[in-house]
A and B are shown apart, each in its own frame.
Chain A
Amino acid sequence: MSTFLPHFPATFIVTGDPLIYGAEVSIVLATVGILFVLTYFKKWGWLWREWLTTVDHKKIGVMYLIAALLMFFRGGVDAMLMRTQLMRPNMGFLQAEHYNQIFTTHGTIMILFMAMPFIFAMFNVAVPLQIGARDVAFPYLNAVSFWLFFFAAMLFNLSFVIGGSPDAGWVSYPPLAGLEFDRGPGENFYLLSLQITGIGSIATGINFMATILKMRAPGMTLMRMPLFSWSVLASSILIIFAFPALTVALALLLIDRLAGAHFFTMFQGGNPMMYINLFWIWGHPEVYIVILPAFGIFSEVVSTFSGKRIFGYSSMVASLMTISVISYVLWVHHFFTMGAGPGVNSFFAVATMCVGIPTGVKVFNWLFTMYRGRIRFTVPMLWAIAFIPIFAIGGATGVMLAAAPADYQYHNSFFLIAHFHQVLIGGTVFGMLAGMYYWWPKMFGHMLNERLGRWAFWLFNIGFYVTFFPQYLLGLMGMTRRMYTYPANMGWNTLNFISTIGAYVMGIGFIVLVLDVVYSIRFGERDFTGDPWNGRTLEWSLPSPAPHYNFARIPTVTSRDAWWTSKQERVRGDAPMKLEPLQPIHMPKSSGRPFIMSAIFFIGGFGLVFNWYALGFLALLGILISLLLRSLEYDTDYYVPVEEVEHTEAALGRA
């Protein structure tokens, strides 16, 4: 046993900073509080049966959503700290070490532990319902994905109080992130937690690709599929082909760090540029992985709230697929300045501009979906409308960055920072918030409050412009990213100050959003119809929330916007559908193993962070045993009897 803890580092628990003491105390308090509440109200069994062991895509979606909002909060706090430090020149609010850790955790959390679970929340909540399926193709694997993500996020966040946070940037380029310049365990936390969540993401990609290709309701041909499901298909394909590159990059860097190999070291034959290539071979598709589902959501929202069919459906599909293909050949635009030579740079520059073409087409199609419609300014629609100008500008600055020689002047400056926040916030975050407001009644059976929702929207939207427009200008003034402090004589002071104020406004917007969620749980208008927005796609044909088997009878689809069509038919009095008799419903069984196996991943990851190989090895064994047990398990499903279905449907007021 003593080999377990041989190198117990002196700095195991991070000390010496009031922020961190505060975090440590609040983590302990929150944990004790949660344990107490669960015990006091005797909720342990409930938690285990209903949530920790569930394989129901709707519940998994809800858990993803909660996790994404929590991580959004953590990443947002990081952002506030950074903007406070940059509010004035030569500020002493944060030391360089802390600033470096904070921008690293901010970026990593926002992309991998906020954006990814947020899109997965939407995948899970909407896709099976939209395509008329009873669950995803591999429900057990879906639970594995979620718990891997969840424990990876815990592992990553743990570094704040144990061992120290990573501080080499979210891209973590060696040799800065190699042993030569970064001995601390923070970087290991980064590598291992990303590796673990990456496994989960690949599994989700496979799962949803299979679900969409194989489990659509009869009659729902691909070209009748809702655009959100199309965007999930495109995003899943990207995940499947892009994430393995990240896996390789992280694994090799980890081997460098743990075993002293020389894949990416400065000398002895290592080649750090190889890491940079691998990272962006994943990294560029990754930004499209998180934007495409947002495109899908906007398509649903714009069409629903304009009361009109989506304009240019085939064009929309074509542009989604074109984008997902082109995005594999763009990665070099993240390092035009690495000297690849003019031929290579020209190729990637023009390819990058080309991705702006299908993107632009989508914008026009959304506009013309609204044209000759009847636009209802609901909260989801507000996010969608606000997205259009922001994204037009973000895409435009993307095209500007793609002009390689111009990029030599923008690269690594605040201009770049402004670009990608514009597309990530204005695109992905606005999209996910639109989706959250849109599908909230479907998830929970009640609406979110419109008034608070509007406040949150306006604060966030205005705050966004105030924060990021000055940053374009700062970039053109020569301010580089990742500086924890700047001199007073460069003319950067006012713009930085304005930017910080904008960030605070966005922070307040986020708080109002959380208030809306809390308020609506208690007071939100209940949705008894299942179709509060007068929707167009199949999820709105179900009660809110949907029963665990989703569809008592799998619908037969005859057109695009299937639910809209059947509502129209009913209005016209056409073909009063004759209901088929109910059948027993085949459903997957819950399992605790995904949770336990992911917890073992966490333990093993934690061990490797500190080079405790024995622990890592034991965990590996545990994982292999879990996998083996699953392979030998045959009792994985059951049938819901007809009487139970009848009973449930009757209770929900459906025939």
Chain B
Amino acid sequence: MIQGLTHNDHDRHYDASALSQPSHRPRQGALRARKTTSLLGLGVTAGLSLLTTGCGERYLVFRPVGPVGQVEKELIILSIILVLAVIIPVSLLLWHIVWRYRDVPGNPAPYDPEWSESHVLEVIWWGIPIVIVGVLGAFTVRDTFLLTKPPERTAAPLTVQVTSLNWKWLFQYPDQKIATVNYCEIPTNRPIQFILSANGPMNSFWVPQLGGQEYAMPGMAMRLWLQADRSGVYYGHGANFTGRGFAHMAFNVIARPRAEFDGWVRQVRHSAPVLTRVGYQSLVQSNLVKPMAFSAYAPGIFESALLKEGGMYMKRDLTMLGRSHSHSGT
């Protein structure tokens, strides 16, 4: 049990076998079901953003630009609607009761000090929350499984290895063989397989407009599927506290069409310096740095950080890592 909790199921973990078959998971039914909730939800979102400050585009969680964030947003809206079905009646009832039964002389409302049981009423309010939890639970389970798989209708995924360092983010592109620090470029309309790790305290990788976060842990590799369907610059930040420089662990994810992305990769290959092992060691030091790009990196830095001094429980994952590119650590 504990193994299952601390460690990762194959599904969520970096499992290269998913790579070979990204698109034969038919989830059309699920999609259609989501349509209905999204109609309902539209009103709530609109209301929410108008009600608040008028600058709705600041509510990053409600402004997803890809399928993962979209699924999460719809679930959030569904949950808001369901809980409002309890909050509103409770509040109205409270004000009504408090007003009607206040202890003032001559209050004509009935007073019944011994009345304390009603099976009908009790069945109602055990029943209502059970129904709500049933509905929300079903959608939650569906989406929980959904999000462990690559977003659909797309080309082969791109892999980006992400390492949280004190206090900076290192992005490595094993297929392009380039690397960046504190910013990350991705192509649009293509699932991105982020492989998260840390060489330092545990962090959490969060780009709200692409989708929810996942922990980046030392000695571990975790997979997070995200995707951008629109070009743009998206705010990202570490979400789990890592010490003194944590507040400065912001990064941008820049999404652009495939051709532009490829152009950027070529440009980095031609103009940027190389990230050597020594250079990596200086990144591991606790400090803040500006965004950087590297035309190449010393092979195996991601894997060897994972395996440093044993990393015994990652043996299984190491073999998986071996399948995504040439490095083999076993």
A residues whose Cβ falls under 8 Å from a Cβ of B: 96-97, 100, 167-169, 173, 175-176, 181, 266-269, 271-274, 276-277, 306-313, 315, 332, 335, 337-346, 349-350, 353-354, 356-357, 360-361, 363-365, 367-377, 385, 388-389, 392-393, 396-397, 399-400, 402-413, 473, 475-478, 480-487, 490-491, 494-495
Contacts and interface: CB of A to CB of B under 8 A. Distances in A.
Interface stretch (B82-90, B169-177, B266-274, B318-326): B82-90
Given A100-B244, A409-B208, A477-B59, A392 B12 contact: no
B79 A406 contact: yes
B130 interface: yes
A349 B129 contact: no
A311 B10 CA distance: 49
B111 A363 contact: no
B60 A476 contact: yes
A408 to B, nearest CB: 2
B29 interface: no
Given A361-B125, A400-B80, A413-B239, A277 B6 contact: yes
**Closest 3 pairs (CB-CB, A-B):** A408-B212, A341-B9, A396-B83
A385 B239 contact: no
Given A176-B243, A370-B98, A356 B204 contact: no
Contacts of B86: 360, 392, 396
Nearest to B75: A406
Contact of B12 (A274, A341, A409, A476): A341
A375 B13 contact: no
Given A332-B5, A478-B235, A405 B244 contact: no
Contact of A409 (B128, B132, B145, B212): B212
Interface residues of B, number: 108
Contacts of A409: 61, 69, 72-73, 76, 208, 211-213
Interface in B64-118: 69, 71-73, 75-76, 79-80, 82-84, 86-87, 90-91, 93-94, 97-98, 101-103, 107, 109-118
Do most interface residues of chain A lie in helix, strand or loop, or is the interface mixed? helix
A361 B110 CA distance: 24
A501 B179 CA distance: 44
Nearest to B221: A339
A393 B4 contact: no
A629 B102 CA distance: 58
11 contacts: A267-B219, A277-B5, A342-B145, A349-B137, A360-B128, A367-B97, A403-B75, A411-B239, A412-B213, A476-B62, A481-B241
Nearest to B93: A367
Contacts of B5: 273, 277, 332, 340, 344
Interface string B124-163: 0110111011001101110111111000000000000000
A478 B242 CA distance: 18
A346 B60 contact: no
Contacts of A267: 218-219, 308-311
Given A100-B243, A100-B244, A399 B214 contact: no
Interface string B213-243: 1110111001100000000000101111111
Contacts of A377: 102-103
Given A346-B145, A361-B129, A477 B122 contact: no
A385 B69 CA distance: 38
B251 interface: no
A645 to B, nearest CB: 35
Given A271-B313, A403-B76, 13 more contacts: A269-B310, A309-B114, A315-B122, A350-B141, A356-B129, A372-B115, A375-B97, A399-B132, A399-B133, A404-B143, A405-B140, A412-B213, A478-B208
Contacts of B242: 176
Given A181-B200, A277-B5, A353-B137, A374 B101 contact: yes
B260 interface: no
A338 B7 CA distance: 9
A408 B87 contact: no
A375 B98 CA distance: 7
Given A308-B112, A340-B12, A399-B79, A368 B121 contact: yes
Interface of B: 2, 4-13, 52-53, 55, 58-62, 69, 71-73, 75-76, 79-80, 82-84, 86-87, 90-91, 93-94, 97-98, 101-103, 107, 109-118, 121-122, 125-126, 128-130, 132-133, 136-137, 139-141, 143-148, 166, 200-202, 204, 206, 208, 211-215, 217-219, 222-223, 235, 237-247, 250, 308-313
A357 B200 CA distance: 40
A357 B113 contact: no
A306 B98 CA distance: 10
Nearest to B242: A176
Given A173-B202, A473-B52, A481-B241, A335 B144 contact: no
A483 B246 contact: yes
Given A267-B311, A388-B94, A349 B60 contact: no
A373 to B, nearest CB: 5
Nearest to B209: A478
Contacts of B202: 173, 175-176, 272
Nearest to A171: B241
Contacts of B129: 356-357, 360-361
Contacts of A400: 76, 79-80, 83
Given A340-B5, A364-B125, A367-B94, A353 B75 contact: no
B213 to A, nearest CB: 5
Contact of A350 (B10, B59, B116, B137): B137
Nearest to A310: B116
B90 A363 contact: yes
Contacts of A176: 201-202, 241-243
A389 B136 CA distance: 22
A393 B83 CA distance: 8
A597 to B, nearest CB: 36
Contact of A346 (B116, B117, B141, B313): B141
B284 to A, nearest CB: 12
Which of the listed residues B9, B93, B126, B201 has the most CB atoms from chain A within 10 Å of its own CB? Answer: B201
A338 B126 CA distance: 33
A381 B71 CA distance: 43
